[in-house]
Structure formats: structure tokens, C-alpha cells
Amino acid sequence: MKKRRKLGRGVAVVGAGMSTFGMFKNKDSKGLFAEAFVEMLASVDKSLDPNDIDALYLGNFTNDFFVRQSHWGPIISDLIGLTPKPATRTEGACASSALAFREGVFAIASGFYDVVLVGGLEQMSERTTEEVAEGLALATVPYEGRVGFTFPGVFALLATAYFARYGAKREHLMNVTIKSHNNAPLNPKAQFPYTVRDMMNAKSKRAREKGGAVPTWEDEKDFLRDPKANPVVAWPMHLFDCCPISDGASCMLLVGEEIATNFTDDPIYVSGMGQGSGRGFHASPDLTFFEATRYAAREAYEMSGLEPKDVQFAEVHDCFSIAEVVTIEDLGFFQPGHGYKAIEEGQTRLDGSKPINTSGGLKCKGHPVGATGVSQLYEVWTQLRGRAGKRQLPHTNLRIGGAHNLGGTGGTCTFTILERR
Amino acid sequence: MKKRRKLGRGVAVVGAGMSTFGMFKNKDSKGLFAEAFVEMLASVDKSLDPNDIDALYLGNFTNDFFVRQSHWGPIISDLIGLTPKPATRTEGACASSALAFREGVFAIASGFYDVVLVGGLEQMSERTTEEVAEGLALATVPYEGRVGFTFPGVFALLATAYFARYGAKREHLMNVTIKSHNNAPLNPKAQFPYTVRDMMNAKSKRAREKGGAVPTWEDEKDFLRDPKANPVVAWPMHLFDCCPISDGASCMLLVGEEIATNFTDDPIYVSGMGQGSGRGFHASPDLTFFEATRYAAREAYEMSGLEPKDVQFAEVHDCFSIAEVVTIEDLGFFQPGHGYKAIEEGQTRLDGSKPINTSGGLKCKGHPVGATGVSQLYEVWTQLRGRAGKRQLPHTNLRIGGAHNLGGTGGTCTFTILERR
């Protein structure tokens, strides 16, 4: 019964929006989603009657227990005036809104709907770090969370296994952090729009103002080596290897391919789409990759007919620096054990041959978990449309970008390829 | 852009299973789902290679906070040997697994997958009644839950508004309860397989054994009028107007229409499908119906080309007795204000012209919220296949049945029509 995965009807992205990501005392999930929705409306450059939106898919992970409110589909459909049209929540931990995107694509490709809004939201910053750590641990498989194996611990294990297998060192992970922090100031919606050098300078300035000894930094890695500036979380994961706690929202407007030019002269098409599931680390024969990512990538390449080399740039799920290294291998961009070398050579930088996380990634853009998947697709869409401002990749021949989202400890992974024709 | 809702590729149900519903000390979500899955496998009467299952959609509402474990998609994909194939959780409060069913249909209708497992699960009985009440209240819209307006209160309001508008009385709701309890003993998977008369007799027997005065009951309504046997919860909702707390799981196997006969000689087809969202009671201009149900019904009838009179029987979401009355009106089976009269006339009984909740309904079959939607479809499928045992409707001309699922206080409603051709 094996066949090539394909859709009976093509789907295009004709609009997108995201809120600024950060920790906000005065914005809740509804306000953040409204911000993203208003930008999406404005981004549809020909015309959109909001009454033509047929349905909403919304990714969210933690609002049940962090905000004490479930069932966000109808709350958001009410907010944007969509009631009584359908609104469905998807949950796949940190991959929740990549699942919303996927269901939106299926709903249109099935022929049932023509115009579907997909998005995600998360409101995390009201909770203490301990509450967030405990809450997020619910996304791990039962064997992990129940023995206190929270996210930094699991990804630290991934890192040490990878180090042992391939000879990489903590120094190599710093290259991921420095690269992401170089991109972030170019993204006005990033939670941390600072380079590592900016932070070094700020620290020197504070020391000078207090009349203390001014630290001298040979380079950015010296800053990251300083245990006061960058304390250990779960070795080898230090503070700057870990993405932050964030609030935020994102959304995209999907339409049937044949009506896309009613909305814009520059539609971006869904070229490939894949999703996989994972069993958790207790049952993994190998801790240096994610089987679910590899499966998702296979599905997406199969549908698109593309190969990894065809994907010109990508957003990948760098919840921890090691995840970015492993993922660019799992997606086939680099051979296993070669990702960290490619990063060191600068291949994943903005001016490299395979730019990764031009947005600043989860590390610097922020990671409001339910919003992340669609926000990654937002970045790919923004680059393909040539609207990425100071972080814009050379646009003339920019045609194909990918977005990889990872939930839990690899329990749910997705890979989506967008294409400008 | 208005068009008739239809699918580019038809979808059939070729297998189904559900666990027994109840309150189980020694069964967890995984064990319950395994029970349903094993029955589903056995129900596929020609052949099924489980390796042909392409993906899983799983509805769950409360396991995040009742079981302290999120991200159930990959846990269940692991359980049934599906890893690394995709597994997606849907959440729409008590309508969570109807949403899973719908996404499974879209995924196949899109052409991307051929064989999809959909289902739901819920494990609630370890928690206290207070914890459950608080947890479920998270499904209401923010204005309701935060002022302590939990489910019985909201549905009591629906009942009093309905009474005031149409002249119905509490006595009429007892007809719903008595009818559901008459069906339940015919369903071996029901949580309460007892008629009201069974309970009267048990009470008489206990009184006799204790040497006390033996109550005499003129009829079943006398039992329901007794405030000791049937205490008030939120007037006019008494204990026997309310569904129980339950554990359970359910699943169904969906395949592309053109390959259905590879699996069975008796496929049941998805004829119509609809979903709507609601704003909550604070914003409803009228408290005697659910706008989301009406919208869902319109979509489903539009897709199927059928009318309410064509639907020969249905499972509807009787979380409270009044919900059944209102829903059979919202689905168009009876005119507004006439549902309670039709029930009194016996039209919704097993031998009536429009049997409703042949399974015993949520009231007697049980309501493990995330499992309910697919369990309703399981009952419709079972009736259409002629496998409903003692509660089987006359089968020769039985062709079309419906299932209605309601989440929260009407925030998410679905209606699905299955057809035997």
C-alpha cells in the first residue's frame, strides 16, 4: 500500500503575523494573539474579507495549567469574530502549532474548506521557574518526567552522547549561541535582541560604573566560559545553551492553491510536510539523533520531491544548543557528526551556505511553546517574501525554506518545506 | 466564495473498539486504550496489517492536570507500536475525540494518508469530585469558570430558560433519564447498566433487609422525585440528570473510500461532518439552544445532502438531561420547544421513530470526556453494522445514524453522519 505522500489539492500561505516575543506583565494570550492577527490581516496585500475564514486551528501546550484555562479554540474564535465557525486546538507539547498548521493544510487539501487560519499562543511568564519546569516536564514521556528528568537534563544527555560519539566539545556549542545572538538584533520581534558582545559590553560598563575591575574579554567565548556570566544548568548545558521562558502568539492564513492569487501576487506554497513521533530516551537505541525528526523529514522530502540540499535555509528547534546541532544532521543538511563542524565553519550563519535560525532561533527570538511552530514558518515565509529587513537573505534566488519543530523530548517532530515559485 | 462543503476523497470506517466505561482503580489511560485497540483490530473482518496505519489522532481533555502527563499522542503511538509515525492530540474539552475523528477524515480526504487511527481517552476517577469540578470548569469560557459557574450551574440555567420559554417542567427531564436507563442494561460496556426500576428494587431490598419500612413506588418518577434518592445538584438538575465521572477509551479505523473493501465487506461511510464554536452563555442572546450545534448540523447536512428526517437514529451529548432535549431540537429532529414533548411521547426510545442514545448515553454509558466523541461514533457504527446485540435497532433498513458531541458549555460542537450504503 506504499505510495508517495501527496495532497489532492495544493495549499498556499497568503498572510502571516506574530506578536513580539518576551515576558509581558501586561499582555495575556488574547492580547498577544490579537497582535499577531492584526499583522496577518495587514500582510494580505490584495484583499481578505475576514468573513471568508472558514475555520481556525490553534496550537497551545500549557495554558491549561499555567493560565488555568483550557479549550482555547472557541475563546480565540470569539476574539477574532469567527464564531460560530469551527476552532480546534492541537497539542504536541512544544510542537503544538506546527500541528495546527498541518491540520489547516489537511482541511484545505481535503476540499472541505478554502480559507483556514492557523496559529499558536502561549502565556508562561506569570509562573515561577519551578512551576514552568514542572509543567513542561509533563511533555516528556512518563519514564523521564517522573524521575525528575526535566528538559535541560535530557538535552544534556543528548550532548554528552553526541560529544562521546563524535568528539565535539562544549566550545562547539558556543558557536550556536554566538550565531543566534548575532542574528537576533536584526529581528525586531526577538526577546533578546542582543549579541553576546553587547552583553559583554554591558557587563564591562556596569563594572566601570561601580568602580570595579573591568573584565577584559579576548573574545565572545571567554564570556561564555565565565561561570558567573554563563552558569551551568545541566552540564554541558549552560544558561546560554538554553532558550528562555516566553509569552507570544503567531498565525498564518492558508488558502487553496487555485485561489491564492485572489489574496496576493506572491503566494508561498506548502511544498513538503512531515511529522513523526518518538518513544523517549529510555527506549532509544541511540541518543545522538531524533528518530521522529528523521521520519518527519522523510515524509516532507517525499511529498516535495526535494532533497536536503535544495532547502536553502531553515528554522530549526534549538530549545537547547545541542538540539540545533543534531537537527541539522537529522534533516540531512549535514552528515551525522558533521553538524558541529559546519557550524564552526560558519556555514549556518546569515552569510553562510545554509543559514539556520535567521530569526535568532528559540534561544534569542524566544520560545512561547505553543506559538513557536507557526512563528518558525512565519520566519521562513517572511524571508521568502523578502520582508525580513536587516536579516533578509539575498532574495533574488531565494525559493525554498524549511521549518522544524520539536515537542517534548522528541515525542513529536515536524518538518515543513515552503516554496516560492 | 460560498460553496457546498465536500471532501475530495471519501472516507470509510472499517473498524472500531471501546473499553468498558467506568471508574477503575486498576486501569490507566494506556490500559484502557489497549482494550479499545484490541477490539478494533478484531473488528476488522477481512484483514489489517497494523503496519499499514499511517497516523494517529487522539482526543484528550484532562490528562494534563488529572494525570499530570501531557503530550499523549506519542505515548499512545508507542503503546500500539506505531512509532515513529505521527500522533496528534486534539482538545476541544468534552468534544476532544470528535475533533480527532474529524482530523483523521481530513488527513485521508487530503490524499496524504490512506489508513488513520482516531480515538480518545480519559482517566478521571482518581481525582476527588472537587478536583474534577474545578478541572472541568477550565473548559468553560473565562467569564463562566471564574465566577464559579461550573457545569451543573450552566446547564441548570439552560433548563430554567427552556422551561420558561416552552412550558416544560422538571418531570419532562425525568423522561430522558428513564429512557437512557432503560437502554443501558442492554449495553455491556455501560458504566451504569441499570434501569431506574432496578435501583428502586435495590433500595426496597435494602430497606427490607434492614427491617425498615419498605418504600412503595408508584412508578419510576416517584423514585426520581425522592430528594434522598435523587438530590438536587443545581436546580432543576438533580443527581439523575447528570452524567458521571468516568474512565475509558475508544478508537476507530478510517481508510480511503476506494480501499475500504480491502478491510471489510461492510464499510460504513462518512456522509456528513460539521463543527461549530460558541461564545459562552455570557454572550448568548438566547439560552435555549446551542448556536455551535446548529452550525455543525448545517455543515454536516450540507456535505451529506441529507435532512434531519433522514437521520434514523443518533447519539447526542447528554452531559445533562436538558442537553439532550435541546440538542435534538438543534439538530433539526424536532422543532424548538417540541423536543421534550417528543421524548414524553416515546419517540426517542429504542422502539420510537427517532431512537436517541441507544447506548444509554453519557448518563448511563459514562462520560470519560476525551473518549466520548469517538465512543458515540462507535455506537452509531455498531448499530449500522448490526452488532448492537440486545439494543440493536431493526437492521434491515438501518442506513443513516448521527453522532453529536459538545465541548465545554457549547464552545465546541460537532455533528457527524455515518452511512451504510
Q: Across the interface, do B141 and A75 touch by the CB < 8 Å criterion?
A: yes
Beta bridge partners of B314: B356, B402
Q: Across the interface, do B91 and A70 touch by the CB < 8 Å criterion?
A: yes
Q: Across the interface, do A74 and B411 touch by the CB < 8 Å criterion?
A: yes
Segment A174-187 mean pLDDT: 97
Segment B227-246 mean pLDDT: 96
- Give contacts of A407 with chain B, Cβ < 8 Å: 71
Q: Where are the alpha helices (DSSP H) in A306-368?
A: 321-330, 339-344, 361-365
Disruptive mutation site among A91, A114, A140, A257 for chain B (greatest number of B CBs within 10 Å):
A91
- Give contacts of A291 with chain B, Cβ < 8 Å: 83-84
Q: Across the interface, do B70 and A105 touch by the CB < 8 Å criterion?
A: no
- Give contacts of B296 with chain A, Cβ < 8 Å: 86
Q: Residue A237 — φ and ψ, nearest 5°?
A: -75, 115
Higher pLDDT, A380 or B66: A380
Pairing of strands A247-256, A115-123: antiparallel
Q: Could you please report the per-residue DSSP string of A124-149?
A: -TTS-HHHHHHHHHTTS-HHHHTTT-
- Rounded to a whole number of angstroms, the distance from the CA of A409 to the nearest CA of chain B is 10
pLDDT digits (tens, 9 = 90+) for B386-415: 999 999 999 999 999 999 999 999 999 999
Residue B71 falls in the annotated catalytic set: no
Q: Which of B372, B364, B368 is nearest to B406 (CA)?
A: B372
- Rounded to a whole number of angstroms, the distance from the CA of A151 to the nearest CA of chain B is 14
% residues pLDDT > 90 (chain A):
84
Residues of A tagged active-site: 94, 367
Higher pLDDT, A396 or B65: A396
Q: Which of B8, B75, B273 lies at the smallest CB-CB distance from A142?
A: B75
Q: Which of B6, B52, B138 lies at the smallest CB-CB distance from A69?
A: B138
pLDDT above 90: residue A2: no
pLDDT at residue number A217: 65
Q: Across the interface, do B276 and A105 touch by the CB < 8 Å criterion?
A: no
pLDDT above 60: residue B131: yes
Q: Which of B228, B86, B238 is nearest to B155 (CA)?
A: B238
Segment A322-345 mean pLDDT: 98
Q: Which of A247, A77, A123, A65 is nearest to B61 (CA)?
A: A65
Residues B193 and B187: beta-carbon distance below 8 Å: yes
- Give contacts of B276 with chain A, Cβ < 8 Å: 84-86
Segment B235-260 mean pLDDT: 97
Q: How many residues does this entry show for chain B?
A: 421
Q: Which of A88, A105, A412 lies at the smallest CB-CB distance from B99?
A: A88
- Maximal CA-CA distance, chain A: 74
Q: How many residues does this entry show for chain A?
A: 421
Disruptive mutation site among B65, B88, B369 for chain A (greatest number of A CBs within 10 Å):
B88
Q: Across the interface, do A91 and B71 touch by the CB < 8 Å criterion?
A: yes
Q: Across the interface, do B105 and A105 touch by the CB < 8 Å criterion?
A: no
- Give contacts of B106 with chain A, Cβ < 8 Å: 103, 106-107, 109-110, 112
- Rounded to a whole number of angstroms, the distance from the CA of B57 to the nearest CA of chain A is 10
What's the rounded Cα separation, in Å, for the pair A182 and A177? Answer: 9
Higher pLDDT, B137 or A296: A296
Q: Across the interface, do B109 and A111 touch by the CB < 8 Å criterion?
A: yes
Segment A253-273 mean pLDDT: 98
Cell numbers that stand for A255 in this block: 488558502
Residues B236 and B160: beta-carbon distance below 8 Å: yes
Q: Across the interface, do A78 and B303 touch by the CB < 8 Å criterion?
A: no
- Give contacts of A93 with chain B, Cβ < 8 Å: 70-71
- Rounded to a whole number of angstroms, the distance from the CA of B167 to the nearest CA of chain A is 28
- Rounded to a whole number of angstroms, the distance from the CA of B150 to the nearest CA of chain A is 13
Higher pLDDT, A151 or A380: A380
Segment A261-279 mean pLDDT: 97
- Give contacts of B100 with chain A, Cβ < 8 Å: none
Place of cell 541518543: A287
pLDDT above 90: residue A80: yes
User: What letters, b where the CB count within 10 A reaches 16 and e where it falls short, cover B1-38?
Assistant: eeeebebebbbbbbbbbbbbbbbbeebbbbbbbbbbbe
pLDDT at residue number B95: 98
Q: Which of B86, B139, B145 lies at the smallest CB-CB distance from A276?
A: B86
The yes/no answer to whether this complex scores an ipTM above 0.90 is yes
- Give contacts of B298 with chain A, Cβ < 8 Å: none
Cell numbers that stand for A374 in this block: 507557526
% residues pLDDT > 70 (chain A):
98
Name the amino acid, one letter, at B304. S
Within 13 Å and on the Cβ side, how many CA atoms surround B243?
33
- Give contacts of A63 with chain B, Cβ < 8 Å: none
Q: Across the interface, do B73 and A89 touch by the CB < 8 Å criterion?
A: no
Segment B4-23 mean pLDDT: 95
* Chain B nearest-CA residue for A277: B84
Name the amino acid, one letter, at B329. E
pLDDT at residue number B3: 62
pLDDT above 60: residue B106: yes
pLDDT above 90: residue B130: no
Q: Across the interface, do A92 and B93 touch by the CB < 8 Å criterion?
A: no
Residues B272 and B417: beta-carbon distance below 8 Å: yes
Report the predicted TM-score, pTM, of the whole model to 2 decimal places: 0.97
pLDDT digits (tens, 9 = 90+) for A6-26: 999 999 999 999 999 999 999
* Chain B nearest-CA residue for A279: B78
Cell numbers that stand for A111 in this block: 476540499
Residues A342 and A328: beta-carbon distance below 8 Å: yes
pLDDT at residue number A3: 62
Disruptive mutation site among B143, B277, B304 for chain A (greatest number of A CBs within 10 Å):
B277
Angle, alpha carbons A13-A17-A19 (nearest 5°): 155
pLDDT at residue number B1: 43
Q: Across the interface, do A295 and B85 touch by the CB < 8 Å criterion?
A: yes
* Chain B nearest-CA residue for A88: B92
Active-site hit among B181, B238, B367, B404: B367
Name the amino acid, one letter, at B353. S
pLDDT at residue number A284: 84
- Rounded to a whole number of angstroms, the distance from the CA of B380 to the nearest CA of chain A is 23
Q: Which of B93, B91, B82 is nearest to B116 (CA)?
A: B82
What's the rounded Cα separation, in Å, for the pair A177 and A220? Answer: 10
- Rounded to a whole number of angstroms, the distance from the CA of A403 to the nearest CA of chain B is 17
pLDDT digits (tens, 9 = 90+) for B268-320: 999 999 999 999 888 888 999 999 999 999 999 999 999 999 999 999 999 99
What's the rounded Cα separation, in Å, for the pair A315 and B108? Answer: 28
